[in-house]
Chain A
Amino acid sequence: MGDLFSNLSLGFGIALTFQNLGLAFLGCLVGTLIGVLPGVGPIATIAMLLPITFGLDPTGALIMLAGIYYGAQYGGSTTAILVNIPGEATSVVTALDGHQMARQGRAGVALGIAAIGSFFAGTVATVVIAALGAPLTRLALVFGPTEYFSLMVMGLVFAVVLARGSILKAVAMILVGILLSTVGTDLETGEERLTFGLPFLMDGIDFAVLAMGIFGIAEILRNLDHTETRDVVRQTIGRLLPNKDDFRQSYKPVLRGTFIGAALGILPGNGAVLGPFAAYTLEKKLAKDPRRFGQGAIEGVAGPESANNAGAQTSFIPLLTLGIPPNAVMALMVGAMTIHGIVPGPQVMTRNPDLFWGMIASMWVGNLMLLIINLPMIGMWVRLLKVPYHLLFPAILMFCCIGIYSINSLPTDVMFIGLFGLVGYMLIKFGFEPAPMLLGFVLGKLMEENLRRALIISRGSLETFIERPISAGLLVVALILLVLALLPSIRKGRDEVFTE
């Protein structure tokens, strides 16, 4: 314990120097501003801004990059809430209730609770990393393909619970999502699947393209369909900050979200994606009146946003303690470290203690900066909604196109968001929810690859999923969740027939 304090004081000694404070602030600010552009998620933001860190010393550069990461992550949530365009998988959930809140004139409250929840989650996650980082590393190693597949099965059950309306429609959307995730070159055999011989489909469909089209472009089409609802939003801007009531409603979701997000963030292979979905599911299950979810429930923003930020931070654990990046953003951080002459690995902690502890301390500093930067900016963001929609939507559309092009520099990506926008619009018209489809899309690939990997290693024996205790446990949880989700809907099914 004494070690922890001396290490943390070493870290804060480094993070709180004038230069590093400035870099953390600058990183968070630039990250927020770029990340708020529709479609520009953390990966694109970091890749874009990587060169500006070249002139700095490694610790300063990494502090700034980490700041850019949190900033972009938070900026993505802002876009999700204001214009319903999730820049990456983790902010899909935020868009569900956050944007509904914005439509009801509670955008400021939603942004405020997101910022405060994120700050709390970030603080807890920092302590977790500092105190338990090394032992928790082992958890990442326990999760092999078998465990991963079972975790994904559990994740898909969340998707069923996510749905606002009919379970059947939700399941249909999940399956479509999984189907879309199989497009591209097969990992094991190298065969092309569902690409119709088109070269740009060889690497599959990019998540940002799908999310931006299905959510963002479809949302624009829908708004143009009936502009009058938009005017209502403009008239009632409402409070800018959450009040006592809001806090009372959200402190428990924040706590639960932080715990779930922090735990899932440690897993390799992008386990953090599940965090917000799991937090949302939990809140909906615990709520007295689950019907409020999807209609602007503040718990539906507070829980997932906390989970999101906690996971974003604990996903640094495998990188810092093992040197193994658990997801694409962390892979980019590895590149940034190697460019600065630090090869990430198990030795970083002992060989570069300044960097290691300085970075951990700067995580907390970065979260504080985010709060300082974003609370005053909420007023500005909310005022954006006052811009007449006929002026706002061409700007959103243009930023979407620029944002999506900047990720892979592919013109076909821009065309695809248009196509998915039309599909999304039709789905809304027919009463299908896009969120379960996106979750199916994210989990589908992981699920298929890990299933095949597990079966290849077990030489085709399905028993491997039950023989391994963690995998069996996850499957049991999934089964229980599914039963819980289906029971009330079977019971309620009869009432719904009459109400519809």
Chain B
Amino acid sequence: MKKIALALTAVLGLAASGAQAQNYPTRPITMIVPFAAGGPTDVVARIVTDHMSRTLGQQIVIENVAGAGGTTGITRAAQSQPDGYTIMMGHMGTHGAAPALYPNLRYDPTKDFAPIGLAAGTPILIVARKDFPAKDLKGFLDHMKANGDKVNMAHAGVGSVSHSTGILFNSIIGAKPTMVAYRGTGPALNDLMANTVDYMTDQIVNVAPQIQGGNIKAYAIATPERSPALPDVPTTKEAGLGDYQVSAWNAVFAPKGTPPDVVAKLNDALVKALSDENTRKRLQDLGGVIPAPEERTPESLQKLVESEVARWTPVLQAAGAKAE
């Protein structure tokens, strides 16, 4: 009797979830973007969901819940119903650097999510004020060895992409510049252009226009290949610092416990969006790097998150950085 009941529940359960997934989505989906509207992650989210909405037949509504380096929004999204109607755009900070920066973090990037897939990454560049003495990355490293204590590095605030990637860069080259914090990339770039600070690392979408306009100079791009937006900027490998490979990736997650078929549907919509010519072009115009087909699966995203947490934690802890 017990066995029959069990079997029945199992069948019913399967049928129920099957029916749910077959119909999914029947109403609009909310995507929580843990940053302010208009930022790089928000822009990627809006471009990708624009196409995903068409595949799913339901609108994906963006809700910006900014705060605490993105962890406020991700905490809320992680605690929402795992029914596929609340998803989120996580990124390098919220699902990589956050455990080291926020000791009281109320989620575990490796355990509390159902990964959907990688959306797009933006490469990181090493940039300096235009009349900084060093001509190339090698000259820069030499300069840092000789005058490292006189150099000022700008970043966009503790917990920002430019802060984490900057600390990684400094730890690799063994530099200890004076760190100057700004509230966001805009003011930091402003002072870099005004020669008030010396160098910084940041996402291509933020710095490319100023490099093209000759207001600042770029030493290297931290990706395996050069960017079509900046063909003259060498990769870190070409410039002799292959160890510095970093990208501000953005990826779609659902809360833990989201049914596998719902995850599959969302992943399918994401993959279709990333294969769409127009969507690809819009992302690439921003300097975005679109993941290769094998990097678009939930499994590879889970691996990425695990490797990122393992990579950032020691680097940031050694630098004594925390956002609390």
Contacts and interface: CB of A to CB of B under 8 A. Distances in A.
Given A190-B159, A190-B324, A347 B213 contact: yes
B190 A50 contact: no
A22 interface: no
A187 interface: yes
A344 to B, nearest CB: 7
Interface residues of B, number: 53
Given A185-B323, A344-B209, A345-B210, A328 B68 contact: no
Interface of A: 46-47, 50-51, 54, 140-145, 185, 187-192, 199, 202-203, 268-269, 318, 322-326, 328, 331-336, 338-339, 341, 343-347, 408-410, 449, 453, 456-457, 459
15 contacts: A46-B37, A47-B36, A140-B190, A191-B324, A199-B72, A199-B104, A203-B67, A268-B186, A269-B190, A331-B186, A334-B38, A338-B205, A339-B47, A346-B213, A347-B212
B75 to A, nearest CB: 8
B27 interface: no
Which A-B residue pairs are the 8 nearest by beta carbons? Answer: A335-B38, A345-B209, A346-B213, A190-B158, A332-B38, A47-B37, A141-B194, A190-B323
Q: Chain B interface mostly helix, strand, loop or mixed?
A: mixed
Contacts of A143: 194
A145 B65 contact: no
Contact of B210 (A145, A269, A323, A339): A323
Contact of A322 (B68, B159, B180, B193): B193
Nearest to B204: A343
A449 B158 contact: no
B178 interface: yes
Given A345-B212, A453-B181, 13 more contacts: A185-B324, A190-B324, A268-B187, A335-B38, A335-B43, A341-B285, A343-B208, A343-B209, A347-B213, A408-B67, A410-B65, A449-B183, A453-B182
B304 interface: no
B67 A347 contact: no
B170 interface: no
Contacts of B286: 338, 343
A47 B64 contact: yes
Contacts of A453: 180-182
B213 A50 contact: no
B289 interface: no
Nearest to A332: B38
Nearest to B154: A453
A457 B190 CA distance: 15
Interface in B182-198: 182-184, 186-187, 189-191, 193-194, 196-197
Contact of A339 (B43, B68, B180): B43
A338 to B, nearest CB: 5
Interface string B114-153: 0000000000000000000000000000000000000010
B256 interface: no
B324 A409 contact: no
Nearest to B67: A203
B68 A269 contact: no
B151 to A, nearest CB: 11
B183 A457 contact: no
A332 B321 CA distance: 29
B46 interface: yes
Contacts of B47: 339
A144 B197 CA distance: 10
Contacts of A456: 152, 178-180
A134 to B, nearest CB: 12
